[in-house]
Amino acid sequence: DKDITILGIETTCDETSAAILKSGRDLVSNVVHTQIDIHKKYCGVVPELASRAHAVKVAEVVKEALGNHKIDLVAFASGPGLPGGLMVGRVAAEAVSALKNVPIIGVNHLEGHLFACEFDAKEGKIAADKQLKFPLIALIVSGGHTELWYVKNYGDYKMLGRTRDDAAGEAFDKVAKLLGLGYPGGPVVAKEALKGNPEAIKFPRPMMKGTFEFSFSGIKTAVSYYLRDHKDIKKEDVCASFQAAMVETLVAKTFQAVKKYKVKNVAVGGGVAANELLKESMVKRGQKEGVDVSFVPRALSSDNGAMIALAGYKKFMFAGKFNANIRINPNMRI
């Protein structure tokens, strides 16, 4: 029934996480163990190191999230993601399911990022009480993915476009690396950008005309040429100008889709949704066009078990599917 308690497990990339969600609404626990310290010296996620770290941490993380709670269902992210991490998540989910004698459900990680927009953080408590309104255009922007979807209703998705090369977060990470700012790049580039002039350098806005596809490797290359050709650069101006180009492109594409599909709602999820300029620009454009823009709360923008538990709840409630397909799929589509 609708008051079930769900354990959500997330291991698709570089966060090992587990959470307990009650009645599809109340977040009881959400334990996140990030592997940033392991990957930062490479300025990117190293798959083999990620799998091992998930294997080392997953039992501890799941145990901590579970506490003494009685659960009715286990949901885990079965794709898309790194194969090693997905396998660890599946084994952990199967172990809990067998021990507690409860069904198991595999969910799409990106659907998790979408439904994370329903969470709201109020007075230190997080609850999923900001129901998404359909139809909507969803922009999922993270370190591994940049996708635009037309979401007609729950479970009724149409992929409009995705990135042909780098994901948006990946572009932030690579530019941070070029500037020697560290990893992950998004937060440091955004911080540096606060001190800079977004109009100092004109980086390209790759619109991929006539499609909803994205391409960000050109912006990154433009930044590297700029750094090669200029001696006295101001890092803050490079960051501000780069960020402006990224944000302008993401907002323009999203609202092209809004126009074409005549929707009144937009939802933005994924790690890059933590970007303040992106949020400000999306909300402003939304107000101008009478479109409601919903962002994932900052605390749940990165990978986490809470969003997997919520996506599992939706699947269970609307599709009534469980114990069906728990096969992992690194290239899973929505």
Indicate the annotated binding residues for Fe cation. Answer: 109, 113, 303
Q: Which of 144, 196, 206, 312 binds ligand KG4 (CB under 6 A)?
A: 144
Between CA 34 and CA 21 the distance in angstroms is 20
CA 216, distance to chain mean position in Å, is: 17
Nearer to Zn ion, 85 or 286 (CB): 85
Strands 136-141 and 265-269 turn out to be parallel
Nearer to ligand KG4, 24 or 143 (CB): 143
Q: Which of 8, 80, 184, 196 binds ligand KG4 (CB under 6 A)?
A: 184
Q: What is the nearest approach in angstroms of Zn ion to the Cβ of residue 296? A: 11
Q: Which of 79, 85, 112, 186 binds ligand KG4 (CB under 6 A)?
A: 186
Q: What is the nearest approach in angstroms of Zn ion to the Cβ of residue 89? A: 13
Q: Which of 80, 254, 302, 328 binds ligand KG4 (CB under 6 A)?
A: 302
Query: Does residue number 272 form part of the binding site for ligand KG4 (CB under 6 A)?
Result: yes
Q: What is the nearest approach in angstroms of ligand KG4 to the Cβ of residue 3? A: 30
Query: Does residue number 275 form part of the binding site for ligand KG4 (CB under 6 A)?
Result: yes
Q: What is the nearest approach in angstroms of Zn ion to the Cβ of residue 113? A: 6
What track of x and - describes contact with Zn ion for positions 275 through 304 (by CB under 5 A)? ----------------------------x-
Nearer to Zn ion, 173 or 303 (CB): 303
Between CA 180 and CA 168 the distance in angstroms is 18
Q: What is the nearest approach in angstroms of ligand KG4 to the Cβ of residue 113? A: 7
What track of x and - describes contact with Zn ion for positions 187 through 206 (by CB under 5 A)? --------------------
CA 134, distance to chain mean position in Å, is: 20
Burial of residue 130 (number of CB atoms within 10 Å: 0-12, 13-18, 19+): middle
Q: What is the nearest approach in angstroms of ligand KG4 to the Cβ of residue 260? A: 26
Query: Does residue number 170 form part of the binding site for Zn ion (CB under 5 A)?
Result: no
Q: Which of 35, 142, 243, 301 binds Zn ion (CB under 5 A)?
A: 142
Nearest of 278, 281, 283, 279 to residue 293 by alpha carbon = 283
Please work out, in degrees rounded to the nearest 5, the angle formed at the alpha carbon of residue 208 by the alpha carbons of 234 and 116: 80
Query: Does residue number 270 form part of the binding site for ligand KG4 (CB under 6 A)?
Result: yes
Residue ranges of the annotated binding site are: 109, 113, 140-144, 173, 186, 275, 303
Number of Cα atoms under 13 Å in the Cβ half of residue 155 = 10
Residue ranges of the annotated binding site for substrate are: 140-144, 173, 186, 275
Residue in this structure with the two tokens 């969003």, named with its chain if needed: 307
Which residues make Cβ contacts (< 8 Å) with residue 113, sequence separation at least 6? Answer: 140, 142, 269, 270, 296, 307
Query: Does residue number 187 form part of the binding site for ligand KG4 (CB under 6 A)?
Result: yes
Amino acid at 334: I
Please work out, in degrees rounded to the nearest 5, the angle formed at the alpha carbon of residue 304 by the alpha carbons of 302 and 307: 105
Between CA 177 and CA 43 the distance in angstroms is 7
H, E, C per residue of 124-192: CEEECCCCCCCCEEEEEECCCCEEEEEEEECCEEEEEEEECCCCHHHHHHHHHHHCCCCCCHHHHHHHH
33: its two tokens: 């163990």
Q: Which of 8, 85, 106, 169 binds ligand KG4 (CB under 6 A)?
A: 169
Q: Which of 150, 172, 203, 322 binds ligand KG4 (CB under 6 A)?
A: 172
Between CA 119 and CA 127 the distance in angstroms is 5
* Binding-site ranges for ligand KG4 (CB under 6 A): 13, 142-144, 169-170, 172-173, 184-187, 190, 270-272, 274-275, 302-303
* Binding-site ranges for Zn ion (CB under 5 A): 142, 303
